[in-house]
Structure 1
Amino acid sequence: MGFDEVHKMDITGDGSDDTVGVRRNEDGSVEYHVDVDGDGVADMKAVDTDGDGVIDTVLLDNDGDGKYDAAAVDLNGDGEADAVAEK
């Protein structure tokens, strides 16, 4: 599946541009797929489930194996993670 938009921006704050693929879904949600190590595979997926501009869920691939192994969830919509789980 392709992306609606692709951007280069420094998401991690390390001074290097990361690739961000944006997917706008029919249900109004927006997904941000972020490749921070330049291997062409997303290491982070941030999801705005209701399209209000606030990220609701973040999935992370901390070990670079292509599988998400940590998640953070904003349960009350304030823009801050309320629950974090790691595999």
Structure 2
Amino acid sequence: MDVLLDRLTTETLQWNVRLEGLEPVRRTIDKSANRLSFSIVLGSLIMGAAILSTGNDQQLTLIANILFVAATVIGFWLVISILRSGRLK
């Protein structure tokens, strides 16, 4: 008991835990995290394009239109990948 308490107080106590069957859960969480980060980037593209489109400069309007088209394509790709996975519940 003394060794256990000593290791606990010096933060050298290590736990070796191995759980079976967590690989499918890990893959699902990875997919969800990837989709979330992808959606954040997509939202940032849309927000950036909206900010750029408020100006009167012709070049900024062109860049904003290109960003809107890119966001549309990426958004459709994201929706299609979600629908193809069959997990839109």
- For the aligned pair, the TM-score class normalised by the smaller chain equals under 0.3
Higher relative contact order (CA 8 A, sep 6+): 2
Larger radius of gyration: 2
Query: TM-score by structure 1 length?
Result: 0.20
Which protein has the bigger helix share? 2
Which protein has the bigger strand share? 1
Query: TM-score by structure 2 length?
Result: 0.19
